[in-house]
Structure 1
């Protein structure tokens, strides 16, 4: 499994107890939907390694997880800061007009007929999502707000925005 075929579910933030449990910070909109997970991929030395779950308890954006084969505090310590991934194919299908943030990556952004650049990444700053647009090597940050996104056409990799007056001026020399 390649990382490009996956989405990040969260990250191991600390150990819990002495029997190998770990605390995970979930980076998803609806954490409770992951209560019945059987396995995840953990990034280990740049590779995705499958880990099977014995137990999982979700509380808000955090989860307490006991993985199979991780039975000691020392084993659990090795997992701290590991990112967790799931296959993109496990995502539920969305209704027409809806999209996942990762689908925006690589879309061309236009304001009117002017191409601003390509979406390089989605940045989350304390709940404020921003689109990072690569404009010939310069980064333009656009708030990811429904009122600014006029058209999102994932199939044709095109996003049309209506930016607030002056937003682009801060990026022009």
Structure 2
């Protein structure tokens, strides 16, 4: 049986010569812990990477994986997405990124606004990046702007927002 894959981050670039990489998190959940095993898909192969060291950085996390403590070994994984098979339990008003990205967004009159293309993390919370034809709109993901999330997302279209 195929397991569901959950994206947790992306290897953005290398950092230094000792195999450390910058990882941009794509989840709020604590998936990045020492000895935690994640995996990437590289050349159509699933490759497991076990976290040896981890620390916070300005643009994400700095992570070192066991057996890849050299820039020459880890460089080939730049741009790879990190996954886990573990789906955490969510509260009623929490969502997985992959459950939101791709959803159609409507206003309260059921007029199509666009589709969620990305979720951005900012200190104040999350922002939905909505592709609206040839433009992009940014909508805070909070109770003021989001009316409901189900098969589609309904937003409170405040004047001047779009």
Q: How many residues are paired up?
A: 155
Preserved contact between residue 32 and residue 51 of structure 2 (Cα < 8 Å)? no
Structural mapping, 1:81-100, within 5 Å: 81-87=78-84, 89-100=85-96
Unmatched tracts of structure 2, length 5 or more = none
Are 1:144 and 2:144 an aligned pair? no
Are 1:132 and 2:126 an aligned pair? no
Preserved contact between residue 133 and residue 139 of structure 1 (Cα < 8 Å)? yes
Query: Could you say what secondary structure the match of 1:49 adopts?
Result: strand
Select which of 78, 92, 117 maps to 2:76.
78
C-alpha distance 112-27 of structure 1, shift in aligned 2 (>3 A): same
Preserved contact between residue 116 and residue 128 of structure 2 (Cα < 8 Å)? no
Structural mapping, 1:27-66, within 5 Å: 27-28=25-26, 30=28, 33-45=31-43, 47=44, 49-53=46-50, 55-60=52-57, 61-66=60-65
**Which is greater in Rg?**
1
Give the match for residue 160 of structure 1: 154
Question: How big is the shift at 1:76?
Answer: 2.7
Give the match for residue 10 of structure 1: 10
Preserved contact between residue 9 and residue 81 of structure 2 (Cα < 8 Å)? yes
Give the superposed CA RMSD: 3.2
Structure number with the higher helix fraction is 1
Select which of 108, 128, 132 maps to 1:112.
108
Question: How big is the shift at 1:148?
Answer: 0.7
